[in-house]
Chain A
Amino acid sequence: MSTQRTLSIEDKLYRNRYKVDEDSHLWIKDTKMCLKCPFEFACIRVCPTDVYKWEENKITITYDACVECGACRIACYDVGWKNPKGGFGISYKYG
């Protein structure tokens, strides 16, 4: 059996190319809703790149890790989502 080392998501994202904007293209529309999240933090769970975390009673957003898939947007209507400004965000070398 192979014993290949498993990379953490953070390690994986280092292989990607991003151009990071100063402003986030992701936001929470109503932060009060998160306190009684009806979806058991679906944003955190469905995100493939660990963008969302629950810290000190609020959702924090590491938008610079986002690959713009849109899963969070589908899983929770309280997630605000728009395309990054032109040229910013993920820039795949392979795709």
Chain B
Amino acid sequence: MNEKFDSVVVGAGPAGIAAAYTMAKAGLNVIVLEKGEKPGAKNMFGGVIFRHHTEKLAPEFWKTAPIERHVVEYQYWFLSEQSHVLMSHRNQRFNSQFNAFTVHRAKFDPWFAKLAEDAGAVIITRTTADDVLRDNGKIVGVATERGNVMGDVVIAADGVNSMLAKQAGLREETPETATVLAVKEVIALPKQKIEDRFNLGPEEGIAALLVGFAPGMHAGFMYTNRDTISIGVGVSIHDLDQSKRRPNEIYEQFKAHPSIAPLIKDGELKEYSAHLIPEGGYDYVSNVSTAGMLVAGDAAMLVNAINWEGTNLAMTSGILAGETVIQAKRENDFSTKSLLRYRERLEDSFVLKDLKHYRNVPKFFSANPHFFTQYPQAMNELAYMWHVVDDELKADRVKRMKADLFKRRSRLGLLRDAYSLWRLFS
């Protein structure tokens, strides 16, 4: 390939495609390199894509895109060994104004990539970008096994393990504490069974977060698709390392919980997958630009772990990267200074504003794992005590409940936790 492109995008995920589409629409000459045999072949998430941000690229995309279900209910499960407390929010407004859609990435991503292709971007699959190419201190392209691909700006959207961002010196090795390993299974069940078990209409779905099923900082997740369920756990690599437990073992323990097992009973395993999630937040966001290169999506560690948002940050960072290149092209200036405007755009958008707002949250929960263990246990124990009917007088019952709670966490500890949460989120 001797042709030089306006931009070489590495990775055909949400960030890369959003960037490629944005630039191609503006008439730029764009090539996208994807290492998988098709877009999405290497991608895994919970998960959902969000209507609001996806619509910025593809209005009313759900009419043609391969979506699974729209989410009408968000569930929060607090598990103890043999019990759970379930808090959930279901709203008919999610039926009239869609909020999020469950998808399978191996099906959605090819559809999304087609948008960029139809706008004129060239998408080359089965091509791994192994290294960045430099000339005079500026990045001028990437090396692949098929040869060099040159462009004015390289956009590294090569995912959480981004080799390119590291080779460009924009990112250091990620610490264990800032990285979560997600292990997931796709389990097939008849459509009707899913709708019966989760109390859903034909197109409706749930998104669930589950904590407390094992000691340590783990979070389970569950999403209903058309005729499959995506179910898995996320564990920080640090926690995994310290606990000396295996990821699959933690996942199997979660799946065997008496409140969870019936939901997936008789299901057939279709796929077992694993993926890293960069959950370190604002302080771990990489340097996102240098002369001739920008970094977007997971590659730049743009994930909001608090609200379980990722694909929308990826798409938005892709759009902003694309806009930065369009402006740079107009001015024919691909210097460090010119491309620094990408960081400014990110700082001005919800992407870095939200991450900045939650800046201290990841560290706080790492330092206070009892939120994931003691509190779910206390909630379950108190709920149990409240519901048991026997001869005990209610005045004694409430006294005993208070004593149980304060045994788990002192009055001062409870106050401090409440105050910390208040400060942390406001």
Contact = CB atoms under 8 A, between A and B. Distances in A.
Interface of A: 1-2, 4, 6-7, 9, 12-13, 15-16, 19, 39-40, 42, 45-49, 67-71, 73-75, 77, 81-87, 89-95
23 contacts: A4-B261, A6-B256, A12-B269, A45-B246, A48-B274, A49-B274, A69-B275, A70-B276, A71-B179, A71-B237, A71-B274, A74-B175, A75-B241, A82-B130, A82-B163, A86-B126, A87-B37, A93-B106, A94-B270, A95-B41, A95-B44, A95-B107, A95-B271
A69 B145 CA distance: 22
Interface string B224-261: 00001010000001001100111110001000101001
Given A71-B240, A87-B36, 4 more contacts: A71-B237, A73-B161, A84-B128, A85-B145
Contact of A45 (B104, B183, B240): B240
Given A2-B265, A92-B42, A86 B146 contact: yes
A9 B251 CA distance: 11
Contact of A15 (B109, B244, B256, B270): B270
Interface in B80-121: 104-107, 109
Contacts of A93: 106, 270-271
Interface string B311-330: 00000000000000000000
A12 B41 contact: no
Contacts of A2: 256, 258, 261-262, 265
Contacts of A82: 130, 163
A60 to B, nearest CB: 17
B72 interface: no
Main secondary structure of the interface of A (DSSP, over half): loop
A94 B228 contact: yes
B95 to A, nearest CB: 25
B157 interface: no
Given A69-B274, A82-B130, A95-B45, A74 B183 contact: no
B269 A92 contact: no
B173 A77 contact: yes
A45 B41 contact: no
Interface string B125-164: 1111010000000000000111000000000000011010
Q: What interface size band does chain B fall in?
A: 35 or more
A1 B37 CA distance: 41
Contact of A94 (B106, B183, B244, B262): B106
A86 to B, nearest CB: 4
A95 B240 CA distance: 23
A84 B106 CA distance: 18
A69 B270 contact: no
A89 B241 CA distance: 26
Contact of B104 (A7, A84, A90, A94): A94
Contact of A86 (B35, B161, B244): B35
A95 B37 CA distance: 14
A92 B161 CA distance: 17
B269 to A, nearest CB: 5
Contacts of B275: 67, 69
